[in-house]
Chain A
Amino acid sequence: MEGFFAWFQWLYDETGINLTYFYDSFDRARMIGGFFTTIWLSLVCLFFSSIIGIVGAWLQGSRLVWTRRIVQGYIQFFRNTPPLVQMYFFFFALGNLLPRVKSEFGFMEPMLGNFTWAAISLSFFAGAFNVEIFRSGIEAVPESTREAAESLGYNRLQSYLYVVLPLAFRVCLPALNNNLVNLVKTTTLAYAIAVPELLYVSNQIWSDSVNVPEMMTTLLILYVALVGLLVWAMHRWERAIRVPGYGT
């Protein structure tokens, strides 16, 4: 391992290509930390935005007009405003309204940290799109299929969970894929509120070592790999739940 790291030191000395995160243990720790922060933030947002999508699409089918209006208002708000502005709004406006608590070092600090706010704002942002995506899938499920479930005694929730949603999923997975890919890429916005994710730590590294082109290239390669992995996993899932004679 040491030889592997030393080779990058040699590479730098010989060619000037400076990949500090290979031979410098401090940068390496920063980079690994950034990588896992990005992955963790992505996973949290993927999970919660999907939940928001599923619940929102269910509420959109509500018989109560105000429930539907509130969901519609939520979608409009988050779809029609830039995600960076949303994140600032959550972090600086809402974050400051919350009561302050004493940190482990004895300072007073906001109740929710920047990572939490990034997760919340990105989940709501992607969730708004997910509601619409799931709705399109739900509308593709024939009314007659729902009626069959109803005639077998399913209540509205059971019919949604066991019949409508599994079918809707199969219809809307390609659109869902797109939105989740966008979500992973949008996690870089958390840079703006100093969440130490990949872009943020890369910036720190290039500020110290002035190796901007190297770090930029690294970032691009890492995101290609990350998103590639997500797309691969989603396609596998798509194939796994494909049903003979349905949706193809």
Chain B
Amino acid sequence: MTDTQTWTADQPIVRITDVHKSFGAVEVLKGVSLDVMKGDVICIIGPSGSGKSTLLRCINALVPINKGSIRVEGQEVHDPKLNKLELRKKVGMVFQQYNLFPHKTALQNVMMAPVTVLKQNKTEVEARAYALLKKVRLEGKEPSYPGELSGGQQQRVAIARSLAMNPDVMLFDEVTAALDPETVKEVLVTIRELAEEGMTCLLVTHEMGFARELADHMYFTDRGVIVEHGPPEDFFANPKDPRTKEFLGQIL
């Protein structure tokens, strides 16, 4: 019953239905539902501890869920029989702390997964990795190790590394939260370009200006539930829920 229905592009590419998740006695997601259409940019905001990061991590099955359903391209993510690799090819993730492989150069970081996991041809992957690093404006940084790069540069390598797997959906988990203010912009520019090319993006972010400008849809979460959502114009101009008002009031 949880098997794949044939998925077509007019259906949500990510469909989250009534997801519950607990860590021990603490319930961090209390019935979250949201749909993402192909090419959409979704921004999720909310106070810390509201479960936004956990929600992203559930989408690519880094953490299991207790109840509910998450489908990516019609495929149930938390089906125990699911080949995780198939899911990870579809869904790329970028982390707050970049999490690059420190013993590999920028180029090798981008190349590693396609070569070792997907067993793709090394010369082809290398050409693609050069192109991806160029795309994130890191031409010339290919032989540098993560330790030699700034935070913003590392984060762009991390984005290129995810893109090398040719994902259909990208998850960004507070990707600018650990960056210096002056390097935040270079990462946001990269994400904007991706979004403009039609990549489906789910962002957990605190960059309200960026969210307002780029998002097709805003979600505000608090204490494990989606309190309010809507197109950014409405969402920022006249938030309805008092909690959203308060949060936006503090942040803007």
Contact = CB atoms under 8 A, between A and B. Distances in A.
- The reply to whether chain A is a binding partner of chain B is yes
Interface of A: 142, 144-145, 147-155, 158, 162-163, 166-167, 170, 241, 243-246
Interface residues of B, number: 29
Contact of A152 (B102, B117, B147, B148): B117
B116 A154 contact: yes
Contact of A163 (B88, B101, B145, B165): B101
Contacts of B91: 151
Interface string B156-172: 00100110010000000
B146 interface: yes
A152 B146 contact: no
B3 to A, nearest CB: 22
A245 B103 contact: no
B134 to A, nearest CB: 21
B127 interface: no
A163 B85 CA distance: 17
B218 interface: no
Given A145-B102, A153-B85, 17 more contacts: A145-B99, A148-B95, A151-B93, A152-B88, A153-B88, A153-B89, A153-B117, A154-B116, A163-B101, A243-B103, A243-B147, A244-B145, A244-B148, A245-B145, A245-B146, A245-B148, A246-B146
B103 A144 contact: no
Contacts of B88: 150-153
Contacts of A148: 93, 95, 99-101, 158
Given A153-B89, A153-B117, A155-B85, A246 B102 contact: yes
Contact of A243 (B92, B99, B102): B102
A243 B100 CA distance: 13
B60 interface: yes
5 contacts: A148-B101, A153-B88, A154-B116, A166-B103, A167-B103
Chain B CB within 10 Å, residue with most, of A142, A241, A245:
A245
Nearest to B88: A153
A146 B3 CA distance: 29
B113 interface: yes
B231 to A, nearest CB: 29
B135 interface: no
Nearest to A152: B113
B118 interface: yes
Contacts of A149: 101
B118 A153 contact: yes
Contacts of A246: 102-103, 145-147
Given A148-B95, A151-B60, A153-B88, A245 B102 contact: yes
Interface string B125-159: 00000000000000000000111100000000010
A142 B95 CA distance: 13
B147 to A, nearest CB: 1
Contacts of A170: 103
Interface in B64-113: 84-85, 88-89, 91-93, 95, 97, 99-103, 112-113
